[in-house]
Every structure is written in C-alpha cells, then in structure tokens.
Amino acid sequence: MKRLLPFLSSSLLTTTLLAQTATPYDSGDAASGAAAGLTALGCGLVPCIIGLAISIGLAVFVYKDATKRGMDNVVLLTIVTVITGPLGLVIYLLMRPKGNPPPTV
C-alpha cells in the first residue's frame, strides 16, 4: 500500500487536470482548475518527501549504530531498514547487542 501512494497522488493530479475544460470566456474556471491541480500535487508530494526523509534518517542511524557496535551484517540491516521503514528499525533494535557501544578511539 505504501508503494501505491505516489501513484495515487499523480493519478489524482492527472484526472484533475484532464477534467478541466477551458473556453476563452471562463478564465476563472481555468485558474481554479490549475490551482486545484497544484494543490493535489502538493498534497501528494509533501508526504512522499517526509517519508523519504524519515527513511533516510532511519537508515543513517542503523548504519552508524551497527558500525559502532561492530556488527557483521551492517549493510544487510541498513537495506532491511530502508525497505521496511520503522519495522526495520524495530528488527534492528531487537537484533543489536545489548548495552552501550564500545568507545571509539
């Protein structure tokens, strides 16, 4: 479902823009149609950017923490976190060694 959200927003934008009929006499309707299309684009684009930022942040956290703790499968855990999102973070938190990471020199 999460992978369908960007396509849903773009399809809503496409249908909004294609449903507009503009004649030379009703320029106000064309402007409102364009505004509605831009609003639909913004409503779909902003959540996608926020989700991407969260995914990148989780991946960076998992990679740095796993590297500090000297874990063997750092790249695999990072890829799992990128693909599954917060569920990957929970999986990582359950797999990582307990306690504080060793001090870096």
Q: Can you give the residue range of the structural domain that contains 87?
A: 2-95
Q: What is the pLDDT of residue 90?
A: 92
Task: Output the pLDDT for position 27.
Answer: 54
Question: Is the residue at 101 inside a domain?
Answer: no
Q: What is the structure's pLDDT at 85?
A: 87
Quickly tell me which residue has 């959540």 as its tokens.
47
Q: Is residue 36 within a helix (H) or strand (E), and if so which, with residue range?
A: helix 27-68
Say if 91 falls within a structural domain.
Answer: yes
In a domain, 102, yes or no: no
Number of folded domains that form the chain:
1
Claim: this prediction has a pTM higher than 0.85: no
**Is residue 37 in some structural domain?**
yes
Please say whether the dihedral angle defined by the alpha carbons of residues 10, 11, 14 and 19, taken in this order, is positive or negative: negative
List, run by run, the mean pLDDT of 10-residue segments along the chain (105 residues). Answer: 60 61 59 77 83 92 91 91 90 86 70
- Is 62 within the bounds of a domain? yes
pLDDT reported for residue 75: 93
In a domain, 34, yes or no: yes
Interhelix angle 74-84/86-95, rounded to 10 degrees, is 150
